[in-house]
Amino acid sequence: MAVDIWDASVRFFSGPRPTVYLLECLLREVFFMRSAVLLTPLYLFWLPLTVSGQEDKTLPILVQQLKDKDAETRARAARGLGSLGAEAKSAVPALVEALKDDNFDVRSYTIDALGRIGPEAKAAVPAMLALLKDKDGKIRSFTAAALGQIGPVTKEVLPALVEALKDAEAGPYAANALGRFGAQAKEAIPALAAALRNLRRALAQLRDEPGHPLPAARELVRALDLRRQHGHRDAA
């Protein structure tokens, strides 16, 4: 607009029709600004529809790629489905099948995808409960975390996660999952307390290990002791 006004100013003093030209420049700029104002709401309305349409087209492609011969392609497909969150709920049956994949990356991304889908993936819970017994500690850990995202607390999920508290690798993830359930997991409180005591004993052993000073472990044990003392006082 600055260039047009400068040009109009020159013509104003030298041209035969300066006023008309200046008016034309101003009208052109006003028209452009009004067009932008009018078109912006239309664009904002159109954009979500376009994204939704792209997801509708992407979903079946990703589901198909879960069966690809190439493991890397299958893993990318599972990760892509996870990025869609609850929008990928129709892919849950295919993801349940992918839990049986021999490739670690495929299985881990599949578990993550089911967790991201959330409650809409509850049909996958029976198959995921079996993975809490998997020989790979990371798979057990990812599964415990995903179960906390999917929910809800059931007579099968609660005892399985309580049992997982004893798992050296998956235990913290199981505790976090139970914490996500809140008061619905109140029956797990004794098991969580026992896990906390076991953690304190393990940290104390690390703290007292000769030749291995662990100030962080020492401070954590101290914090746990203070928390227990406060709890006793509160109970009194």
Tell me the average pLDDT of the chain.
75
- Give 56's pLDDT tier (boundaries 50, 70, 90): low
Number of domains in the chain: 1
Amino acid (one-letter) located at 162: V
Tell me: the pLDDT tens digits for 79-119?
999 999 999 999 999 999 999 999 999 999 999 999 999 99
160 falls within a domain: yes
Residue-wise over 170-193: b if at least 16 C-beta within 10 A, else e? Answer: bbbbbbebbeebeeebeebeebbe
Average pLDDT, stretch 162-166? 88
158 falls within a domain: yes
- Give 175's pLDDT tier (boundaries 50, 70, 90): confident
CATH number at residue 135: 1.25.10.10
Cβ–Cβ < 8 Å for 182, 153: no
Question: Which residue did the predictor score with more confidence, 204 or 67?
Answer: 67
21 falls within a domain: no
67 falls within a domain: yes
For residue 13, what pLDDT is reported? 42
61 falls within a domain: yes
- How far is Cα 128 from Cα 146, in angstroms, rounded to an integer? 9
32 falls within a domain: no
For residue 196, what pLDDT is reported? 73
Structural domain including 168 reads 56-184
99 falls within a domain: yes
73 falls within a domain: yes
For residue 52, what pLDDT is reported? 47
Q: What is the value of pTM for the model shown?
A: 0.64
For residue 75, what pLDDT is reported? 96
